Chains A and B, each alone.
Chain A
Amino acid sequence: MSSKIASKIKQKRIAQLIARGKRLDGRGLTDYREVQIESGLIERAEGSARVRLGKTEVLVGVKIEAGEPFPDVPNEGVLTVNAELVPLASPTFEAGPPDENSVELARIVDRGIRESKAIALEDLCVEPGKKVFVVFVDVYVLNHDGNLIDASALASLAALLNTKLFNYEVKEGEIKIKPGYKPLPMRNHPIAVTFAKISDKLIVDPWLEEEQIMDARLTMAVEKDGKICAIQKGGGYGYFAPKEILEASKIAQEKAVELRKLIVKE
């Protein structure tokens, strides 16, 4: 178990089943594993959430601090997404500076939130050009059993929706915190849907052993009106045909509606 690499015979079985439209764990090709979402479990953080996607487990904490805006957008708060593949989550994760996998993970999550304009960043400006709030979204992978991207994006959205912005007043250019909170201003809800290509079929939400044999991976983030707001192809040594990409975009739009219902209570 500790090596976490599926045996050749099992890999072959997984691929053969998918070719026939079935999966080893009994799911359909476009079914997600069971999703569990818990919000607000870290009191010290302004917002937090834990998402379980089958055995994959991701914790996201949101911290808000005062900082400087970017010079090109002086009236907007700043969003920073970081991902840590902590060594306790998998025998293949090592301690150390972020590697390309954790950088890619963070940047995909970031892109979905940023491009869909999920956070009303202009409401986080304290003093134009000088002082704004910085929203730190820290993705903490606790158990890796495949599809970290969707679990991280889901947990990040849940954590942002759970985030409380402290009341404050500005005295002589300094921010003074006052009692009480209001929710972080949110206006969109991006959902990431990840596909793996195995045996020339597209499957949704690959688990670890499927990821080990996938030809390629594709993530599409879909915002609340069904528009696509971020895409990333990655993983494996393979590719997608144009018609597979278009098929994926349609499935992603459907799946996003399904997943969004779990997080955003209308």
Chain B
Amino acid sequence: MSQKKPEKLIDENDVRLDGRKLNEMRPLRLEIGVLGNADGSAYIEQGKNKILAAVYGPREIHPKHQALPDRAALRCRYHMAPFSVQERKSPAPSRRELELSKVMRESLEPSVFTGYYPRTAIDLFVEVLQADGGTRCAGITVASLALADAGIPMRDIVSACAAGKVEGRLVLDLTDVEDKGGEADMPLAFMPNSNAITLLQMDGMVTGEEFEQLVNMAVEGCKQINQLQKEALKAKYVAAKEAGVEKEEEAEEEAED
């Protein structure tokens, strides 16, 4: 059950397999507050990627020895569903998932005021339901929204996007086939208000100049994503506020009657 590898990932007019331009992102859909039990949650669809994130906490930490005296411990679990990829993935956490959990935590930690909640845990769970390349970036983007939805004080929203090199050309937001068939993939997470890169990884080979262009390209991608994240937050909370105001007004009218 292996997919056939396409011969060319980018055609002569610089159009990619899915019809995108070189510096174009996949369509992005964000939704906030999608799970009932979690303190905060969010859902992202980026192309064929479908990822859920949930936040529990700040809450009591178990095991207790993990408690930090001066800040909350941000704990992150990145996990892929067995049905999220072509060949079934064993549900046991792989070495890749362990590493991604670590780098995702480190990419979000600079954005959270963990110092407000010493000796507690903020638990973040990211479940990849369907994967098509760039899941760590989409995971960070959605996790940052889940943290915001949980009402945890933050310096900034973290946005993440990959840039890479495919068939000699620099492209934004690689899909799985582009990542596997390409020369380099560089995921990057960015906090626009602090001009801070909080995640940077790369596989593949690029020259110094290409690297500089990739960083700029990915940062621009993150800025676009950041706008969409803000809109998603507004869509939920401005709507909720307006609904609240309407209810109040109705209640007042009833009281007057």
Contact = CB atoms under 8 A, between A and B. Distances in A.
Contact of B196 (A114, A228, A239, A253): A239
Contact of A116 (B101, B205, B207): B205
Nearest to A233: B200
Interface in B186-223: 186, 191, 194-208, 211-212, 215-216, 219
A136 B54 CA distance: 38
B106 A228 contact: no
Contact of A115 (B101, B109, B203): B203
B103 interface: yes
A230 B200 CA distance: 10
Contact of B110 (A230, A237, A241): A237
A216 B189 CA distance: 14
Contact of A226 (B186, B200, B207, B219): B207
Interface stretch (A40-48, A154-162, A170-178, A242-250): A242-250
Contacts, number: 97
B2 interface: yes
Given A103-B98, A104-B99, A107-B95, A229 B205 contact: yes
Interface size class, chain B: 35 or more
B215 A239 contact: no
Contact of B106 (A223, A229, A235, A245): A235
B101 A100 contact: yes
A239 B212 contact: no
Interface in A99-143: 100, 103-104, 106-107, 111, 114-116
Given A103-B95, A240-B200, A241-B196, A233 B103 contact: yes
Given A104-B102, A116-B205, 11 more contacts: A100-B99, A226-B207, A226-B208, A227-B205, A238-B110, A239-B191, A240-B197, A240-B200, A241-B196, A242-B195, A253-B208
